[in-house]
A = this chain, B = another copy of it.
């Protein structure tokens, strides 16, 4: 396994040069920080990633969670990691200081999350679930709840989860039937089954706190009757002791990858003694849960980009060291072979990966910046960033997830036969990264969210704001002679986005909802490519700014900026043209997939 699994230089480039995180320091909420504290976050996280998490990557894959005597045993390293995540303040980093957090901007918190996921993806799941579950309690829970759960969760002693899916209710949350029966003692009796719940029991922590969706008896049908509960695996009794809360694990899944973290099935209230504590008001559970879901979605996108980054550096190392073949211009077999990185096709495969990873990362920084700003701003500005974040969340989740698979697959391909064997980590990355288009909402669901909800919400306001954001970058680059051709390309792409969107909205306005959304997944792909092109042009703008001071550049920096420009040009030359075929398809609303009958698939 190679040393390098991500580019620290690129993280700093995005954080400081492209997204200027220090501009946040002007707001009182972030004012206690400085570039020095942010640098230290990166440095410390790198140390943990390299020294602690990464050495266990393969071992945790080869020794997946086991279901023994009704409990889930995980690799012993998980306990060490959770301790470190707690003691090091990684779980609480973004939380307010008054709760023991550090009020770190999400833009900065992205960095440890990326590093940990690139080092050992499964491990990062324990952390982010705990952070986001605690934040949900913080946002909507009572004071008592906050005091009871948050300190333990921030300390890494109690694991957080999100417990949504049930056997009959996956994508369709309206159909959950886990029930909550009120008692007169301040809690609800929970009964039901939850499946596919990550980290919902394991022996790396003392307790697990499930943020669980259920229906209070008599509540409205569908999503309007969903409430949010805290359901700990162990509850605190009168004596302050942790006792069994009738949360029963019935099994853990055997998975293709992501094997360092268990995904379990739970049966709640088998002995009629599972207590759930209502978070906020009844029947508002789904709206609350969206806070955690949306935050997690960005983190899933980030996780996919992180795995792709680790795979890229493994492929790069191999490509530099593996001699095979000769230049096409001098195939004399008496000459020594050249490293495969000298072949244009291998360089193309590497540039593909890099353009996906760094483009995705940039979009994720952008979303996190919107998130950070909406916290500290008010009124129209707050709404603006909140709408932009909302609009882009399905894109920032799905683009890295879908393209991450292809990126890792190309990395594996760079190693030829060795990529297919477990001497190298590529085959593990290939298995690990396949989950991302599934968990936290499938790509199909995100397509429908983007086109069916986000693009049209508030009369298209978010979409308009987005177009303006992209146009701002186009305007900033069109006078730069080097960037101008790309600026024009993006302008044309944006025109296509507008055409396709208005065509589809016409279809909707004609009342044909099924036709309107039939190709929503492809619309998401189309939208995503253009969003990443926007991010690449934004990055190129920062590169051009840096290059104005050419004389002061170190060789490493000069190489970095040059590599960036090649990758930027790669994206515009190879990836952006993919919108041509997609636009052609999306404008052709012939209803093929709506019409096709189930009976016709068999032969």
Q: Which residues of A contact B (CB under 8 A)?
A: 4, 7, 9-10, 165, 168-172, 174-175, 195-196, 221-223, 253-258, 263, 316, 320, 323-329, 331, 333-334, 337, 339, 341-351, 354, 405, 409, 412-413, 416-417, 419-423, 427, 430-431, 434-435, 437-439, 442-444, 447-448, 452, 513-514, 517-522, 556, 559-560, 562-563, 566, 569-570, 573-574, 577-582, 584-585, 588, 590, 592-596, 598-603
The interface residues of chain A, by DSSP majority, are classed as helix
Complex copy number for this chain: 2
| Neighbour of A592 across the interface among B343, B422, B566, CB < 8 A | B566
Chain B residue numbers with a CB within 8 Å of A333 are 174-175, 221-223
Contacts of A559 in B (CB 8 A): 599-600, 602-603
Min CB–CB distance A603 → chain B (angstroms): 4
Contacting residues, chain B, for A430 (C-beta < 8 A): 256, 434
A sample of 9 inter-chain contacts (CB < 8 A) reads A171-B416, A172-B324, A221-B334, A222-B334, A256-B420, A256-B430, A562-B600, A566-B596, A580-B584
B563-A585 in contact (CB<8A)? no
**A266 to B172 CA separation, bound complex (whole angstroms):** 54
| Cβ-defined contact, B566 with A577, below 8 A | no
CA distance A521 to B521 in the complex (A): 26
Residues of B within 8 A of A438 (CB): 413, 416-417, 419-420
Contacts of A351 in B (CB 8 A): 592-593, 596
Q: Which residues of B lie under 8 Å from residue A448 when comparing CB positions? A: 345
How far, in whole Å, are A559 and B584 apart by their CA atoms in the complex?
Answer: 29
Which residues on the B side are within 8 Å of A325 (C-beta)? Answer: 171-172
Instruction: Provide the residues of chain B in CB contact with A590, threshold 8 Å.
Output: 569, 573
- The CA-CA distance from A444 to B255 in the complex, in Å, is 31
Q: A518 contacts B603, CB within 8 Å?
A: no
In the bound assembly, the distance between CA atoms of A598 and B348 in angstroms comes to 12
Q: Which of A339, A438, A594 has the most CB of B within 10 A?
A: A438
The distance from the CB of A189 to the nearest CB of chain B, in whole angstroms, is 24
Residues of chain B with a CB closer than 8 A to A170's CB: 324, 416-417
Complex Cα spacing A257 to B601, Å: 28
Known: A324-B172, A328-B513. A345 touches B520 (CB 8 A): yes
Contact B444 A602 (CB under 8 A): no
Question: Sorted from nearest, which 8 A-B pairs have the closest CB atoms?
Answer: A222-B333, A563-B600, A577-B581, A580-B580, A344-B518, A9-B603, A256-B427, A577-B584
